[in-house]
A and B are shown apart, each in its own frame.
Chain A
Amino acid sequence: MQVEFLGVSRQRAGVAELVVEAETLGQLLASLADRLPSLSEVILGDRLHPAFVANLNGDQFIRDPKTRLQRDDCVLILAADAGG
């Protein structure tokens, strides 16, 4: 599935988008942490730091690492502190 980084997570990742294979959110985040060490402040193990959130396809915000993902999903990673 596709991963889109927005804001600070994009700054850290150094890219706007990435394709990752994973069956759950936790697997996806662990994979990202492996590939992009610069995300160490964003991803803690198989979870996002509380200052960040994940969103599925622009619809649903998700946190549970066990959340199942589909091959054609798009996961957005952004600051939890939206607005301001």
Chain B
Amino acid sequence: MPFGYHAAYLHIDVTDGHVDRLPLDESTLRQFIGGSGLGVRLLLDAGTAHLDALAPEAPLVFAFSPLVGSPLTTSAKFAVVSKSPLTNRINDSLASSGFAVAGKQCGCDAIVIVGRASELSVLVIENDRGGGGPRVRLESAAECRGATCQDTEAHLRARLGREYRVASIGPAGEQLVRYATISHDGRHAGRGGSGAVLGSKNIKAIAVRGRERVAWAHPETLTTLSRDLSKRSFGPATAKYRELGTATNLLTFNRFNALPTRNFQTGSFEAAANLSPEQLSVTRSKTRDSCVTCTIGCEHIYSILPADAGSHKSGSGFRPHAEETTGVRVEYESLFALGSLCGISDADAVLWASRRCDELGLDTISAGGTIAFAMECAERGWLDEPWLKFGSADALLRALEAIAARDGVGDLLAEGSRRAAQAIGHNSIAIAPQVKGLEIPGYEPRALQTMALGFAVGPRGADHNRSGAYEVDFSDKVDRRNVTLEAVRHAIDTEDRAALMDSLIVCKFLRGVFSDFYAEAADMLHAVTGWNATAAELLDTARRIVAAKREFNLLAGWTPAEDTLPERFLSTPLPDDPAASLSRTRLNELVAEYHRQRGV
């Protein structure tokens, strides 16, 4: 067995509770590492790419990695990999913290779940050292029906024991909202609807408790590397995340006309300052938190006063408990999607909406994108829901509740903007803010055209986590509003690097810390596994993982025509920055060059 791994995964059929512990050979592990890479490999091996994403036979993979459980900063992460019910393509979403460590200590490198439980259940996996391997059982979670992610986690830990780590779905996952999340400790495997996949299996939560550690090949070297990486993680390259969090992007993007506003109709928002962390921290107390093993501490948690929530109660129909009014993690993507994208300038409402998404188990980007799309359709008279207006905080909050309950128009919006556009007609697909069905994150494609390419070709759809092409736009490598074919190799580089980071796994907020990421990744992997992998081998590994995602998509029905952007971006210059114009011809050239370089 290689160091750093258990060299096995659990295959659990929740229909009848049957469990197999199956071997993972060293060659597979070295070729796909862990996390996203291993998850995609296991999905391909299952041969289920053609199935409906919500079919009982469609697997949902929780994949750990060789670095999980090590002292390397930010390594306590896990990947959730499946076919996406939103895109019908590959979906790999990552989350962090204790679940990753406890899950791996159950004695497996991955957990593959298939089937459908007969009642709403919690899947319990535990493994005591020397206790004969992982034990798996299903328990009823009927009392958790309709409960928020946080309440479910708290309830199950109280019932099972504090040493259990719990990943759960909220009401949105139970209702099979196509962009429902899986939540753990306040973080979310957020994009692409993995929460709906778990919900389709009638599994409300997974609880893990383990004590089976793996051995490391060179523990002293690992300690040295960990100390060095932690030390560097305190430096200027991560200052942004420590001091302001990702929310600081808001004013920066607004300055560059790259802040999507009112369903991507413009790239700047007149009330951006209201939502900025610089302003939020003036009137609200703030605390910081971090994932297990993380030394960056990027989570900035702002207080929400009961009065903030109360002002929106009547319109949205919910009654927050007193204990629910403590705080909310604020991230740029949530501020953009629930703020500028919906034209909401009321910071209290945006923070509360973000918190409700966390509770309901909704991806904030897809929720905000779909609601903003519906607001524009309503304003154009294409959707008979006149209450859906840009700038209306009550409309935003009411829509979120309706989506999670699939109530009224919420049932349509729970399908995401692409399916909603198909139902609404009027060629509204031209303004649906999505690629392959996944709503576009907070990067205006016309103002950031390398990112536009990254969105267009992304295997899981419009995605800022699997392509970091925006970094290229914010550099002297390209003219961000008039990119040439030279941008393609840079976009590929960021995609490759992300694939490896998501498989090792380390947090992308460290990316500025590495002077030679592949060489340092090889050193980390050597210390943990003993492999003498070179930087060149790991670059090949990254490309293999990207190719594996494309292979899954091909088997699921992908065609090159999917690698594009909505018509809005290709027919209309950005009104507040006419120099930001991206023609269909230009995008097609970029995509064709990407396909050529990728060998597609």
Binding site for B on A (CB under 8 A): 4, 6-8, 10-11, 41-42, 49-53, 55, 58-63, 76, 78-84
Q: Which one of A10, A51, A83 contacts B237 once the chains associate, using CB atoms below 8 Å?
A: A51
> A60 touches which one: B249, B470, B479, B512 (CB < 8 A)?
B479
With a cutoff of 8 Å between Cβ atoms, the chain A residues found around residue B243 in the complex are: 8, 11
- Provide the bound-state CA to CA distance between A11 and B276, in Å: 13
Interface status of B226 (Cβ within 8 A of chain A): no
Contact of A80 with B512 in the complex, beta carbons under 8 Å: yes
- For A58, the chain B residues whose CB sits under 8 A away are 255-257
Measured between beta carbons, the chain A residues less than 8 angstroms from B474 are 53, 61, 78, 80, 82-83
Give A6 to B253 CA distance when docked, in angstroms.
Answer: 10
Is there contact, CB below 8 Å, between B512 and A81? yes
Q: What is the minimal beta-carbon distance from B491 to any residue of chain A, in angstroms?
A: 13
A-B contacts counted at CB < 8 A amount to: 85
> Are B236 and A42 in contact, with the CB atoms below 8 A?
yes
Identify which of B278, B479, B512 contacts A10 (C-beta below 8 A): B278
- Bound-state Cα–Cα, A11 to B443, Å: 23
Report 6 cross-chain contacts, Cβ distance below 8 Å, ordered by A residue: A8-B244, A53-B474, A60-B479, A80-B471, A82-B249, A84-B241
Point out residues on B near A: beta carbons under 8 Å.
Answer: 235-241, 243-244, 246, 248-249, 251-253, 255-257, 278, 332, 443, 464, 468, 470-471, 473-476, 479, 508-509, 511-512
Given contacts A4-B255, A49-B236, A83-B471, contact A63 B332 (CB under 8 A): no
Q: Say yes or no: A41 contacts B236, CB within 8 Å.
A: yes
A62 to B476, CA, bound (A): 6
| Given contact pairs A8-B240, A51-B239, A81 touches B251 in the complex (Cβ within 8 A) | no
Known A76-B255, A81-B238; 7 more pairs at CB < 8 Å: A7-B248, A7-B251, A8-B239, A52-B236, A58-B256, A81-B509, A84-B240
Contacts of A4 in B (CB 8 A): 255
> CA–CA, A49 to B246, complex, Å?
20
Give chain A nearest CB distance to B460 CB in angstroms. 17
Report chain A residues within 8 Å CB of B253: 82
**10 residue pairs, one from A and one from B, having the closest CB atoms:** A82-B474, A51-B236, A83-B470, A7-B248, A61-B476, A79-B240, A84-B246, A51-B237, A6-B252, A81-B512
Q: B231 to nearest A CB, angstroms?
A: 15
Q: Is the CB of A83 within 8 A of B255?
A: no
- Name the CB-closest residue of B to A58: B256
Contact (Cβ within 8 A) B239 A41:
yes
State the Cβ distance, A32 to closest chain B Cβ, in Å: 16
Q: Enumerate chain B residues within 8 angstroms of A49, measured Cβ to Cβ.
A: 236
| Chain A residue with Cβ nearest B256 | A58
- CB pair B443–A81 under 8 Å, yes or no, is no
Selected contact of B240 from candidates A41, A50, A81, CB within 8 Å: A81
Closest residue on chain A to residue B474 by CB atoms: A82
Given A6-B252, A10-B278, A42-B236, are A81 and B471 also a contact pair (CB < 8 Å)? yes
Interface contact A81-B237, CB-CB below 8 Å:
yes
Residues in A with CB closer than 8 Å to B509 are: 81, 84
Q: How many Å lie between the Cα of A78 and that of B256 in the bound state? A: 11
Docked Cα-Cα span, A55 to B257, in Å, equals 14
Distance in angstroms between the alpha carbons of A82 and B479 in the assembled complex:
16
For A4, A6, A80, A82, the residue with the greatest tally of chain B CB atoms inside 10 Å of its CB is A82
**A82 — nearest CB in chain B belongs to which residue?**
B474
- In angstroms, Cα B286 to Cα A1, docked, is 35
Q: How far, in whole Å, are A30 and B471 apart by their CA atoms in the complex?
A: 26
Q: How far is the CB of B222 from chain A (nearest CB, A)?
A: 26
